[in-house]
């Protein structure tokens, strides 16, 4: 398979497409910007600018505004520091991206893995529009992290990493509970987390791990499903291919189709139950949908 076929945007992620999604995200309704500073007797409110009351200084991070460097502390310590202000509006979004083997499946338009990549890229572009830093943590076949960064550099780093991971040979699967445990250690100050998954990774221990994560950040869930995982198929024979092996599945009787639908939809139902049980904001899309509306619905409104 040549490089063009490998990145066709259907079975493999296309980096140019992930980058081009920026224009779509920039035309979407602007996300609200929320004050991060605690106010006595008040909940955080929307900001229409950056306050100038100095709060503290911290070690400089890639993407920080150089105009806010703390030159005195930098000179004194020998380590670059930047100033933070009382009305600091910078948040951090960490996308948890499912790369398990079940994601490499699709019967309509594209694989779930490609649709998940598109949704993650849109989330990155949309988040930086609201002034957030953005990073991505892959779990499953790939287990790598891109730390949250600000501006276009952060979104490009997310898009580039997702495309690179998709091109790697598949590895071993990982449960959601294991992924959430790792995410709890690698959050890097994330204030929001977006889980993008088909749900087949959800295990019994995931609820407890997710509950611990909810105590640290606002968590949203985007379920990516194939059409066969969402609706019962018409009667007929269906060709499938897995690891180079081709076979047909006969679905003629009502009982056969019902059992097939239950098995195919198991991941979606697990993830839905997990999200509803913890009161998480959640949306579901199939592989033919435009992910933008779901991303805006999940990230465009913030809870106090």
Beta bridge partners, 58, equal 82
Q: Are 181 and 151 in contact (CB under 8 A)?
A: no
How far is it, in rounded angstroms, from Cα 289 to Cα 184? 31
Q: Are 141 and 171 in contact (CB under 8 A)?
A: yes
Q: What are phi and psi of 105, to 5 degrees?
A: -150, 145
Q: What integer pLDDT is reported at residue 133 of this predicted model?
A: 95
Q: What integer pLDDT is reported at residue 220 of this predicted model?
A: 98
Q: What integer pLDDT is reported at residue 237 of this predicted model?
A: 81
Q: What integer pLDDT is reported at residue 49 of this predicted model?
A: 39
Nearest to 268 by CA among 251, 255, 254, 286: 286
140-172 tens-digit pLDDT: 999 999 999 999 999 999 999 999 999 999 899
63-97 tens-digit pLDDT: 677 778 899 998 988 999 888 765 445 689 999 99
Phi-psi map region of 135: left, alpha, beta (phi>0 left; psi -120 to 50 alpha):
beta
pTM over 0.85: no
Q: What integer pLDDT is reported at residue 52 of this predicted model?
A: 53
Question: Positive or negative CA dihedral for 54, 58, 60, 61?
Answer: negative
Q: How many residues does the chain have?
A: 304
How far is it, in rounded angstroms, from Cα 13 to Cα 102? 16
How far is it, in rounded angstroms, from Cα 138 to Cα 146? 9
Q: What integer pLDDT is reported at residue 236 of this predicted model?
A: 79
What is the secondary structure of the chain as a DSSP string?
--HHHHTSSSSS--HHHHHHHHHHHHHSPPPP-B--S-BTTB---B-SS----EEEEEE--TT--GGGB-HHHHHHHSS-EEEEETT----EEEEEEE-SGGGS--SSSS-HHHHHHHHHHHHHHHHHHTT-EEEEEEESS---EEEEE-HHHHHHHHHHHHHHHHTSPP-----HHHHHHHHHHS-TT-SEEEEEE-STT--TTHHHHHHHHHTTSEEEEEEEE-GGGTSPPPSEEEEEEETTEEEEEEE-SHHHHHHHHHHHTHHHHHHHHHHHHTT-EEEEEETTS-THHHHHHHHSS---
Low-confidence ranges of the chain (pLDDT < 50): 1-5, 35-51, 87-88, 304
How far is it, in rounded angstroms, from Cα 78 to Cα 73? 8
- Lookup result for tokens 């948040």: 91
């Amino acid at each position: 398979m040549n490089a063009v076929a490998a990145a066709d945007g259907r079975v493999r992620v296309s980096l140019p497409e992930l980058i081009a999604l920026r224009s779509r995200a920039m035309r979407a309704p602007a996300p609200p910007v929320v004050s991060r500073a605690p106010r006595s007797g008040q909940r955080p409110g929307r900001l229409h600018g950056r306050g100038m009351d100095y709060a503290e200084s911290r070690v400089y991070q890639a993407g920080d505004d150089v105009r806010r460097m703390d030159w005195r502390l930098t000179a004194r310590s020998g380590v670059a520091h930047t100033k933070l202000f009382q009305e600091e509006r910078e948040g951090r979004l960490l996308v948890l991206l499912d790369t398990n083997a079940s994601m490499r499946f699709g019967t309509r338009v594209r694989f779930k893995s490609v649709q998940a990549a598109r949704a993650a890229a849109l989330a990155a572009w949309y988040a930086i529009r609201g002034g957030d830093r953005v990073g991505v943590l892959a779990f499953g076949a790939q287990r790598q992290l891109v730390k949250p960064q600000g501006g276009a550099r952060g979104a490009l780093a997310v898009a580039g990493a997702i495309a690179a991971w998709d091109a790697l040979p598949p590895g071993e699967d990982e449960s959601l509970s294991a992924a959430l445990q790792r995410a709890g250690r690698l959050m890097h100050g994330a204030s929001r987390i977006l889980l993008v998954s088909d749900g087949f990774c959800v295990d019994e221990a995931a609820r407890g791990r997710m509950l611990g994560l909810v105590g640290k950040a606002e968590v949203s869930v985007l379920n990516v499903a194939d059409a066969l995982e969402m609706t019962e198929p018409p009667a007929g024979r269906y060709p499938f291919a897995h690891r180079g092996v081709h076979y047909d599945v006969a679905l003629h009787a009502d009982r056969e189709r019902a059992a097939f639908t239950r098995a195919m939809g198991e991941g979606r139902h697990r993830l839905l139950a997990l999200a509803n049980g913890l009161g998480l904001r959640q949306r579901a899309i199939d592989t033919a949908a435009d992910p933008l509306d779901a991303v805006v619905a999940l990230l465009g409104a913030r809870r106090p």
